[in-house]
Amino acid sequence: MGFIKEFKEFATRGNVMDLAVGIIIGSAFGKIVSSLVADIIMPPIGLLVGGIKFTDLKLWLKDAVVDSSGKVIQGAVTLNIGNFIQAVFDFFIIAGAIFIIMKVMNSLNRTKPKEPPAPPVPSMEVQLLSEIRDLLKKK
């Protein structure tokens, strides 16, 4: 039972729970950004460049093989450039959002520079001994 107890302690530690929450929120954020790019950003860009739907952009390496009845025997081989372009937009938007979030968090966590602490006040005995030393030096 030592392994299970040790794993339970590990899994319930604050850092692990924070990481789990971060991953869940991050994946949800990724879906939102993907939808933003695919449904909001890319259609106007496609319209501006001539009505292109980016997910339809493909480089055909090999056509599909069909038999005499028109049934596809082997699918076409394509490079899906449009999907790649969309993924690049997703990446830049997510990276920019994370950069802005981290910048805001760092500015909130930044504290005013602390003044150096005052030197500790010596005890009464040390003060008296210092005075005695100074008087002996004068003589």
Region label for 41, one of left (φ > 0), alpha (ψ between -120 and 50) or beta (otherwise): alpha
Tell me, yes or no, whether 129 lies in a domain.
Answer: no
- What tokens appear for 15 in the block? 């850092």
SS (H, E, C) 97-108: HHHHHHHHHHHH
Q: Is the pTM of this model over 0.85?
A: no
Question: pLDDT-based confidence at 112, cuts 50/70/90?
Answer: low
Position 133 scores a pLDDT of 92
The whole-angstrom separation of Cα 106 and Cα 14 is 21
Q: What pLDDT is attached to residue 1?
A: 65
* Inside any domain, residue 133: no
121-131 pLDDT, tens digit each: 889 998 889 98
The answer to whether position 48 is within a domain reads yes
Report the CATH number that the domain containing residue 25 is assigned in CATH: 1.10.1200.120
Instruction: Give the count of domains, the chain.
Output: 1
Question: What is the rounded average pLDDT of the residues 26-31?
Answer: 86
Looking at the chain, how many residues does it have? 139
